[in-house]
Amino acid sequence: MDIDLASEDVIHSFWVPALHGKVDLIPGQMNRIRVEASHPGVFRGQCAEFCGAEHAKMIISVVAETREDYNRWLARMRQPGAVPSTDEQTRGQDVFLSGGCSLCHTIDGTLAAGTVGPNLTHIGSRRKIAANLLDNNTANLMAWVTHARSLKPAVVMPNMTQFSGDQLRELVVYLESLK
């Protein structure tokens, strides 16, 4: 698979030792590498260039699958976000759209079209969140939404402490449904 590498801010270094040597990402310059795994699996990497306060928490995960599994995954990723199927998910989507989340994040198929934060269309299917720092589970999603800055200092995402307990639960139920 070919991977285009670019940086908007500082020099980074893409490094997944089991798949490829280090490749620098220089602001304003596009680099491309080709990686090929000899077997399916999850391969861990790391930014290998000190790039700022969050350098040690810039974890890279490369998931290698069979061609058939990859094609199924790609087809799912090209679909819009799941439509809420329960009242709780619907309320969670309302919290997402009205609570500030949609100002920074996109969920394809909704009015959320923010471009500052990651696209969350299929966040429920991700293994990890917070740049691969945390397992993607209910407790970590709740903690990340409300206190991202205490979990990963210098992160751009603000702490979203304005949600009531019910709103936070509904929001996370909605996010988890986005497979």
User: Is residue 96 located within the same domain as residue 167?
Assistant: yes
Predicted TM-score of the model (pTM): 0.84
Query: What is residue 131's predicted lDDT score, i.e. its pLDDT?
Result: 84
- Domain of 130 in residue numbering reads as 87-177
Residues in the chain: 179
User: Is residue 59 located within the same domain as residue 131?
Assistant: no
Is residue 129 within 8 A of residue 136, CB to CB? The reply is: yes
d(CA 34, CA 14): 12
From residue 51, alpha-carbon distances to 28, 35, 116, 125, 132 in Å are 16, 23, 19, 29, 17
User: Is residue 7 located within the same domain as residue 43?
Assistant: yes
CATH value at residue 138: 2.60.40.420
pLDDT string in tens for the chain (179-residue length): 899 999 988 999 999 999 999 999 999 999 999 998 999 999 999 988 887 777 677 888 999 999 999 999 999 999 999 999 999 999 999 999 998 899 999 999 999 999 999 999 999 999 999 988 899 999 999 999 999 999 887 888 998 999 999 999 999 999 999 99
User: Is residue 91 located within the same domain as residue 173?
Assistant: yes
State the total domains in the chain.
2
Nearest Cα neighbor of 16 from 31, 7, 3 is 3
Strand 31-34 and strand 41-47: the pairing is: unpaired
User: Is residue 71 located within the same domain as residue 96?
Assistant: no
Question: 59 is written with which tokens?
Answer: 């974890």
User: Is residue 97 located within the same domain as residue 172?
Assistant: yes
Residue 31 lies in a domain: yes
